[in-house]
Amino acid sequence: MTMGYSPVEYGPPEWAVVTGSIASTVLFVRLDASGEEAFMDVVGIHENWLCGSPEYWPDVGERIQVCRVPISYPDNRIRVVRWESALEGVLGEFPTRYLAVPPGLGPIERAMVVEHREEDLLVRLVESGRECVLPAAFLSHYQAECAKENWPAVGERIRVRRLGVWPGGEVRVSCTMFTDEPIIPEPLSFYASRDNRVSKLAVAYTRTLPEAVVGRVRAVGDAVSARDWERAEGLTSHNRLSWEEVDDFMTTYGWPPFTPLPEDFEKDMHAAPLQGGGNWIDCLLWTERERPSDVEISLRITPAPDDPDHLDASLVRMRAIGFCYPGRFDQRPRPQGPAWTLPWM
């Protein structure tokens, strides 16, 4: 057991098919490999409470990846979670909190009802003219108001928020996702220090990292910052983003030019242990103007299978953390593909 971290190790990722749900509390799935039925409570759907809202739950019939919870439940029920940290094999949780709203969530807008369909409504956004899908379940928090006889009439104007892009390209909207009030952000005082998004446990663990791990993070960070893709390729393997995607992300959410990591860059680098050995690392890149920027890279650094003294590093994620510019997070739409499947699957 890694000192300070929970000994609970979730099962490996496995595919499951969503079979149903109960209100906004429980999701039911069938595990592909065994055919067993399992359940997932609302807490287990996503680490970010907004991303765990029913609006973002996968549809019945969608395939998702889950991890078993190694705890016995009455009647031998199987509980699973969809936490990204569990799917990644991180012990405990990711070292840094992510404060963004769900990708694709838009502002409050006016829409006109265009058509009543079997289980949803077709609406047209007044400002852009774009047609979107409004599932009947997201008309109201009250079930009776979602009944077809209570749907708003064709031609009626309603207030909605865009949720994002679903598989097949449809844009979904909701009347229940904060359409009567703003989404309450963290107070501005929260953004006074980047340490506020990191647990004391992660800070303490990061201080125990071997010099070889810290050195590899610096080398990768410097190569990426210099856009030296050949060097970055030599320092990493099995990356989940292309260097073109990395470059696009840097120019979108940073303020070039990027600079080498400073001597004390470790204060903006945080780590968590992985099941089976190795570390998950979150590290901010630096620019001349921002020092550091909002651009964060995530690396998996593990001992090489054939040589434990050698380290393998993979660039697995990039995020915009919204500290230099509060509220300016990664706003890419919901990934194309099955709901809540990771983009590299």
Tokens 């001992």 -> residue? 303
Please name the CATH architecture into which domain 108-174 falls.
Beta Barrel (2.40)
Q: What is the pLDDT of residue 300?
A: 96
Q: What is the pLDDT of residue 344?
A: 33
Whether the per-residue pLDDT at 219 is higher than 60: the answer is yes
Question: For 56-95, what is each residue's pLDDT tens digit?
Answer: 888 899 999 999 998 878 788 999 999 989 999 999 889 9
Element holding 213 (H helix, E strand): helix 211-225
25 vs 16 pLDDT, higher one: 16
Omega cis (within 30) before 257: yes
Positive or negative: CA dihedral 227, 233, 237, 242? positive
Question: Does residue 161 contact residue 174 with C-beta atoms inside 8 Å?
Answer: yes
Residue 191: phi and psi, rounded to 5, are: -85, 5
- pLDDT category of residue 248 using cuts at 50, 70 and 90: confident
Q: What is the pLDDT of residue 7?
A: 57
Domains 14-87 and 108-174 share a fold: yes
186 vs 159 pLDDT, higher one: 159
Whole-structure pTM value: 0.80
Q: What is the pLDDT of residue 331?
A: 46
User: What's the CA gap between 117 and 124, in Å, rounded?
Assistant: 14
Closest alpha carbon to 265 in 239, 293, 300, 241: 293
Question: Does residue 188 contact residue 254 with C-beta atoms inside 8 Å?
Answer: no
Mean pLDDT of the region 145-168: 91
Tokens linked to 14: 């496995």
Q: Where are the domains of the chain?
A: 14-87, 108-174, 189-320
- pLDDT category of residue 183 using cuts at 50, 70 and 90: low
Q: Which of 6-10, 169-173, 180-184, 254-258 has the lowest mean pLDDT?
A: 180-184
Report the mean per-residue pLDDT for the chain.
85
Say whether domain 14-87 belongs to CATH 2.40.50.140: yes
